[in-house]
Amino acid sequence: MENFAYPGADKIKTEKGILLKRGDGHILLTGCAAGTGQLEVWARGKGQFCFRVIGDSGLLTLEVPSVYAVKGAAAQSADVTLTAADSTRQDIEVGKDTWTPVGESADPQSREFALLEIRTSK
């Protein structure tokens, strides 16, 4: 029975400091390469993470601390959900191939936010 757990999540957490929990297989962590149209996530102290997005829609639950910017994939827009330590929530739309401030960059109090969910659609 499929549980949708992200394959290799423990190794990724140890190596990169991010926790990939569950997904539908349409949003996959990959190496960052210019000009590929990937979804990009920037986190303070961790740098850039890139995801290959396939299909018409996708879902990934994860935990990436201190996220401040997301760039949508070239062919899909995204909805991202973040939370701060005090449970303040951000639900932000990210356009196709567009940089969007999130987390502390979109917060008047400049609080740190963790990225918890990415949903993509065409």
Q: Is residue 15 included in any domain, yes or no?
A: yes
CA 103 to the chain's CA centroid: 12
pLDDT value for 2: 52
Give 66-111 pLDDT, tens digit per residue. Answer: 999 999 999 999 999 999 999 999 999 999 999 999 999 999 999 9
Domain count, the chain: 1
Asked whether residue 56 is domain-assigned, the answer is: yes
pTM of the model: 0.92
CATH for 62: 2.60.20.30
Q: In Å, how far are 49, 71, 91 from 54, measured between CA atoms?
A: 16, 16, 22
